[in-house]
Structure 1
Amino acid sequence: MKKIINNKQKQINDIVSVVKLSTLLLIGIILSKTFVKNNSAIWESSTFYILIILFIPLMLFVLVYLAWSFSVENKIKNKYRNIFNIIEINFFLIVFSAIIWVCGVNGSQYKILYLFIIITTTIQYGMKRGLIVSIISSLIILGMDIMVVPNAYLNDFFQDDLILVGIFILTAWPLGFYVKIEGEHIKRLEEQINIDGLTELYNHRYFCDTLIEKVKAGERNNKPVSMIFIDIDYFKQYNDTYGHQKGDYVLRKVAEIIKGNIREGDLSARYGGEEFAVILPDTNEKEALNLAEHLRERIENTYFEGEDSQPNGKITASMGVSVYPDKAKDDIELIKSADDALYRAKFINKNKVESYTSILDEIKSNIDEKDVELVTSIKTLISVINAKDKYTYGHVERVVIYSRLIAEKLQLSKRNKEILIYGAYMHDIGKINTRKEVLVKKMKLTDEEWEELKQHPANGAEIIKSVESLKEITPLIISHHERYDGKGYPNRLKGDEIPFLARILTVVDSFDAMTSNRPYNTRKSYEDGIQELERCSGTQFDPEIVKAFVEVVRNDIEVSDLNGMNRKYAN
């Protein structure tokens, strides 16, 4: 819609510019008629010099105006448009006044010229500016009448020009009113297109378009742009219990809270379903987290009908925060990072605010400076794998979240927690050497293809070993497919021969593999996945780790959230 409006405004401006240029040419004709002697093919020298003095500046202005109107970049025009508009209007008023003065003042038939600038100004800038120009034009004409015949008891010219003044004002007023009505109509249409009908917040499309503009503005001005993603907790349960009408009531009320508690200049939108988003221009991460926490508290402390049936006895919301350019390089990454932070907030306990954290940034902050470039290269390899296999990307993200949870459950040391999370992030990096047709094959793998896939732990360890600062991750990468009973690969390690952190990663990795949509495997339900872990406890998996992980899944994670995570990364 904005593009259509901009195109329409450009067309209006182009037409008005043509009218103004034509007016300047008309002035040239008037000057020629005034100074060329009747029936004379030869001009007097005085007349010639007068024409030169008048025409040269006029033609220069025509050329400059032409270049400005049709050639100059829009961003330059927008920056100086208001100043140029004032100069332009004043120029035409001065030129018209000069023409009228030269052509006989009171008796001049060219007073009607003022209508050109009155009409074009009203069309372009509305009734207010049109009326101002018409009043100024009227004062100039009446002032000329008084100056030329100052002491006349009855000034016929003044009386006649009062009628012309009325024409000026009656031209600007109705025309300006029409422009105003049309502008309001366009604004209403724009609102209908850009506003979500249920919540009266901006809709998803307008949000995305505005985010692109805000990020570009942030880049130009070297200012941060933050984003908050908001999701209502247990909304499906509330909707199923009370029906969609009550669900709509909650959505409207949450939208009112968001809209009423953000700052002037922030933009709130309904992103989709029970998800909302807020764009925060010129806002750093700390300020965004404070605002998100304020919104979370307001939602939690607001009474909603029927909220007693919710798991926590309250309607609450989880929120994710990210910021450009610190956590994202463009608008797409800003959305993704804020979305990742939101799902981590929902994944762990709900009713909380989470800021996006980049595993790569964590790794960089904990390794030697000489290895930073190598780690960046590893990220590039992971991006290539993600492009080859969509499942691997979502799988890695979920395994990292599971690893954080079980690390807390097992009370791992800070360093072991870091190693586990980094290993979870990089455990499938060896798939860079696996053919895409093998990774995405929907039929059962052949023996040869299976052997190729089984090489990825060793290939991954080979890649990582070049980074001295990450050597502690190598055992996790090479051993995450070993089995507790010694029947795994690639080295057939058994029991405690398998590094402890690798045994943890094996449980986490296998659970997500079982409960996810994969090209060559049928997805299990989450309860079936838990039962499979327990069935294979002591054979494929370390029984103590299985016990701890099952407690994490059953106590700390909602099945609905697991479904949400799977849908998110499957799309």
Structure 2
Amino acid sequence: MVNKLFLITTIVYLIIVLIQASGRLSVEYRGLLAILEVGLSIFISYRFAYLGMSISVVTNAIASVHFFRSSMLLSGYIFKNAHQIPDNMMYGASFAPPLLINLAFMRISLVVVSVLVAYISTQNSKQIHKLERIAFIDGLTGLYNHRYFHTLIEEKIEVADSRNSSLGMIMIDIDNFKNFNNTHGRNEGDRLLVKTAQVLFNESKKSDVVSRYGGDDFAVLISETNKNDILWVIERIKKSYKEMTEMQRFPEDTTISIGYSIYPDFANNKEDLITQANSALYQAKNKGKNNVQLYRNIFKEIRAFFNSDENQLFGGIMVLLSTVYAKDRYTFNHSERVMEYSVKTGEALGFDENRLRELKIAALLHDIGKVEVPEEILNKSEPLTGSERSLLRQHPNYSINILEPLADKKSLIDTIKYHHERYDGKGYPHGIKGDEIPLEARILCVADAYDAMLSNRPYRKGMKKEEAIEELLAKSGTQFDPLIVDTFINILLNEKN
């Protein structure tokens, strides 16, 4: 677009210059063209900087030389032929050489103006480029930042759609980076981030997009790719990363975990692609870190094995839970313990096998919505503020949104949705009470609260078993269903005996 505009503008400008040089136009038209010529001269110098300036400088320099030469020739002619020039014309002729000199100086002035305008244009371009770097580039690593990444991924998906091709997204996370920072200091942490960015950039093609997604997370977009191509890139990255850590003398356990997905093979849109690559990354980290994981459609797997293979079903659920475990240290093993308490309570209340199965799944998935809650809130070392508590209380709703693919399992969804409701109607998120709350949700409420009481949190020490039982009894009939509390405590006492 710029080249085309430059060509058209330059041609028009040169045509005007040639018409002016021909001297065939009347004075009034020459004046109008002169104004247009000056305007175009300044425009191309500003719009195209030194390239445009060179056109203006050359044409105006030639014109100034032409006017100087014409002035000298005319002065010589007048001097030699003064006796032949009538007196009534001699006065006007004497003004012609100085006029040509003035025109020459005007052209020289245009040369100076063109140079200044081109310089100003260049400085403005540098400033704009600097501002663009601030807006689009991560200041530490020199990669694209999180904000610009989202612009580029939209553009890449549009290109993939137009070419009927694919787009791969790789998410990379430095394992145990927080511990690395705490142990070796922030400067070493920054150095590791910079070196990681260099590895990713060097192992990517020019057409790839490499960005610092946030903190110690990086993202790479690869156009027109497939699973094998992505794995080849990942192997190169891991090999180069290992060589870099050895050369830079970083600790041996300085590793990276990688997750990836592909549009449109697995993802339907930009949001899906980002979510899936993130989910795959969490799965890779949960496998023991220093791993690579392709996105797995866990909900599809859960649905496939819902009424058949028990091991496959709960294996899929545990993979799904890994996304929460990666963010919330407290959730680790909490869901499994809540499941055990809930199933024992359901058995004591005479649930059949299918009902126990759904209760087991609901207990495992009851905190899945915490994946949408900021990590700093989940792992905060002091009591939560009012606004933070309100945000955390949204996690049952987040769970329902995440579990939308299982929406036809209404009793399962309702158990998760209502497990923070209170028997007296003062719970959340809907404030229902008594028998309005599904029985499974009332069971889950007691099991979840009991395990929370026993667990140590950063801001408080866990209760003893006897203290937790007293708390359940104290809140029986208000927070908890009395039937569930009695059944639950009997189970605990029988286990103790």
Aligned position for 1:357? 296
Aligned position for 1:536? none
Does residue 303 of structure 1 match 2:245? yes
> 1:319: Cα distance to partner?
0.9
SS at match of 2:421: coil
Post-superposition CA distance 1:327-355 (Å, at most 9, x none): 22222211111111211221213223222
Letter in 1 for 2:53: G
Aligned position for 2:125? 183
> 1:211: Cα distance to partner?
2.0
- Residues 1:286 and 1:143: Cα distance change in structure 2 (over 3 Å): farther
TM-score by length of 2: 0.55
Aligned position for 1:113? 36
- Residues 1:307 and 1:123: Cα distance change in structure 2 (over 3 Å): closer
Distance 1:426 1:250 in 2: 40
SS at match of 1:302: helix
Letter in 2 for 1:235: F
Q: State how many pairs are aligned.
A: 345
> 1:287: Cα distance to partner?
2.4
> 1:142: Cα distance to partner?
7.0
Distance 1:161 1:401 in 2: 79
Post-superposition CA distance 1:110-130 (Å, at most 9, x none): 545321111112222322223
Distance 2:205 2:419 in 1: 50
> 1:96: Cα distance to partner?
5.8
Please tell me whether the aligned partners of residues 227 and 338 of structure 1 are also in contact (alpha carbons under 8 angstroms). Answer: yes
- Residues 1:283 and 1:88: Cα distance change in structure 2 (over 3 Å): farther
Distance 2:176 2:322 in 1: 23
Aligned position for 2:144? 202
> 1:240: Cα distance to partner?
2.9
Aligned position for 1:167? 109
- Residues 1:514 and 1:125: Cα distance change in structure 2 (over 3 Å): farther
Distance 2:20 2:198 in 1: 59
Distance 1:260 1:398 in 2: 34
- Residues 1:454 and 1:111: Cα distance change in structure 2 (over 3 Å): closer
SS at match of 2:222: strand
Moved more, 295-304 or 217-226: 217-226
Aligned position for 1:212? 154
- Please list, as runs of the form range in 1=range in 2, the aligned pairs for 1:530-541 lying within 5 A after superposition: none
Please tell me whether the aligned partners of residues 434 and 452 of structure 1 are also in contact (alpha carbons under 8 angstroms). Answer: no
Aligned position for 1:390? none
Where do 5+ consecutive residues of structure 2 fail to align?
A: 78-95, 307-315, 326-360, 366-402, 424-432, 458-464, 466-487, 489-497
Does residue 124 of structure 1 match 2:124? no
Does residue 439 of structure 1 match 2:361? no
Pick one of 198, 219, 222 that aligns with 1:280.
222
> 1:177: Cα distance to partner?
0.8
Post-superposition CA distance 1:388-438 (Å, at most 9, x none): xxxxx9988228999xxxxxxxxxxxxxxxxxx9xx999954444678798
Post-superposition CA distance 1:201-238 (Å, at most 9, x none): 22221222222232233333434322211001122332
CA RMSD of aligned residues (A): 5.0
- Residues 1:399 and 1:293: Cα distance change in structure 2 (over 3 Å): closer
Distance 1:220 1:514 in 2: 54
Letter in 2 for 1:126: A
Distance 1:178 1:332 in 2: 42
> 1:176: Cα distance to partner?
0.7
TM-score by length of 1: 0.49
Aligned position for 1:83? 4
Distance 2:286 2:434 in 1: 38
Aligned position for 2:196? 254
Distance 1:136 1:232 in 2: 59
- Residues 1:339 and 1:394: Cα distance change in structure 2 (over 3 Å): farther
Where do 5+ consecutive residues of structure 1 fail to align?
A: 1-79, 368-374, 376-392, 403-420, 456-487, 489-509, 533-539, 541-571
Please tell me whether the aligned partners of residues 228 and 279 of structure 1 are also in contact (alpha carbons under 8 angstroms). Answer: yes
Distance 2:48 2:441 in 1: 70
